[in-house]
Structure 1
């Protein structure tokens, strides 16, 4: 806090802490936010959070939306981030945390292609730096309102996702991502809920359906017409409605609901599409659909 200034709650709730694993896309996210009117401060020590939010509170018309990008390059300064966030809460600042993550093997490839060391690897290997960073960021990831797994994203899809999440004004809107996936390729890292569609007959074993996907009418009709399929979707949507209301009460704006089957081509795709259609009928909800493993062999 600047000497002589009393902490002031910003007149806007648009304060976003952007953090996450090195190499997971923080810079791309920051540029996307900046392109859509956010005032972005990169590589900021947590000790300065309070100072900047004080200034925002005194001139909200000049800085209506503030994004603070923080990383672990200064390990000693980063250790104070928990205290800095508690100070923001004490000041009445209603902030959100965006955490960007990616699979370790992808992070290694990104550092190798850039020919740069990981900021925490020291004299060790890149994987050592990644492991140290994951440990340091664990608590922050656990409390993040939005966790984005950028493993399968390029810079354009990440920027588009950030734009969709953080540029809409008006009443609080829940942004839901309904994702299909194949269990044989692993669980999605950023899923808040995971449903299993493997209780339904598999179109893979029906020769005339095998070449198609759950996005095709003949497959979706087959999957959703099976005994228990409609009841499952009905009950799952009903079970999620109090969750959505709870997210609103807790100021959580984003969630990923994942539906899996064996390969992520037929059953999970069909159920995810129907689940997204049904959730999209709820008020103040926007829904996107992602088929993570569609197209894999």
Structure 2
């Protein structure tokens, strides 16, 4: 149990039911929660759910039930979860794992395994059928985790924040940069757009560098709007974070975005992470799109001739 209490913060025994789209990382989630101290039971038949929970009194439980289960039925699962939630000694939560169809297809292609609902048809056909089947569970879930861009480390970090056991750390803050070109991180609680700042991309000497390099940092801090923006950002967050703690929130994701996810968002993310650490918070920092290959077209030599606004492009 790694020194943690079997009971949750409210004194009830935690029970997590994990379900979701095939190929979205269900097995990985089960292993991560098991590492946190949960007893893991995967691919459980629905008829055994109530007996299993009734026999569990001294250890948090994570149960994997999805479309692979022989007697799987969406409405039956929802009804059984509702029955469990009537017990005063249990804290029951439903976790739904999801991912984009193309990511699921890629994962099945890489592992060369058949999709459980595709039979002899293409993987995407199975994904479409399963999404309709699983939608009621997604709608009813306490937590929905989109794993499209997740590594195993990302999954472990998010699950630890959402489902840590009593005796674990308080509020964990994860700050990530991202490119709007590739979409806003779905797990983000707070999103800030820094595309209004002067863009180092337009300086060909700075373009190969990132927001972690000093020349880029110097360039951005010279922007007349930078100091006021960063000050306002920290003044906004400073009173919010203690309130999140008082409300029992254990995990907060802050996402900072610019167009390419390489310069401005990276610099602001790094600065904000350091600011949070200085105030005693446990902080994780990542840069989702920093190493992504640039998809944009080559920048024209003469921006003035093209009418391009350097703050809005690239």
TM-score (structure 1 length as normaliser): 0.78
Q: Structure 1, unaligned stretches of length 5 or more?
A: 1-9
What is aligned with 1:288? 284
What is aligned with 1:83? 79
In the aligned structure 2, how far is the partner of 1:142 from the partner of 1:240? 30
What is aligned with 2:270? 273
CA-CA distance at 1:101 after TM superposition: 2.7
- Give the structure with higher Rg (CA): 2
Among candidates 190, 193, 199, match of residue 193 of structure 1: 190
CA-CA distance at 1:249 after TM superposition: 6.2
In the aligned structure 1, how far is the partner of 2:228 from the partner of 2:136? 38
* 98-107 or 75-84: bigger deviation: 75-84
Structure 1 residues 81 and 187 mapped into 2: Cα distance closer, same or farther (>3 Å)?
Answer: same
CA-CA distance at 1:271 after TM superposition: 1.2
Structure 1 residues 225 and 16 mapped into 2: Cα distance closer, same or farther (>3 Å)?
Answer: farther
Structure 1 residues 156 and 245 mapped into 2: Cα distance closer, same or farther (>3 Å)?
Answer: closer
Among candidates 110, 114, 118, match of residue 115 of structure 2: 118
What is aligned with 1:99? 96
In the alignment, is residue 202 of structure 1 matched against residue 199 of structure 2?
yes
In the alignment, is residue 213 of structure 1 matched against residue 247 of structure 2?
no
Query: What secondary structure, in the 3-state scheme, does the structure 1 residue paired with 2:181 have?
Result: helix
TM-score (structure 2 length as normaliser): 0.75
In the aligned structure 1, how far is the partner of 2:120 from the partner of 2:93? 35
In the aligned structure 1, how far is the partner of 2:256 from the partner of 2:235? 16
* Match runs of 1:139-150 below 5 Å: 139-142=136-139, 144=141, 146-150=143-147
Structure 1 residues 239 and 290 mapped into 2: Cα distance closer, same or farther (>3 Å)?
Answer: same
CA-CA distance at 1:198 after TM superposition: 0.3
* 241-250 or 76-85: bigger deviation: 241-250
Q: Aligned residues, how many? A: 282
Maintained 8 Å contact 1:203/1:209: yes
What is the Cα-based RMSD across aligned positions, in Å? Answer: 3.2
Query: What secondary structure, in the 3-state scheme, does the structure 2 residue paired with 1:82 have?
Result: helix
Structure 1 residues 47 and 266 mapped into 2: Cα distance closer, same or farther (>3 Å)?
Answer: farther
* 265-274 or 14-23: bigger deviation: 14-23
CA-CA distance at 1:49 after TM superposition: 4.4
In the alignment, is residue 14 of structure 1 matched against residue 11 of structure 2?
no
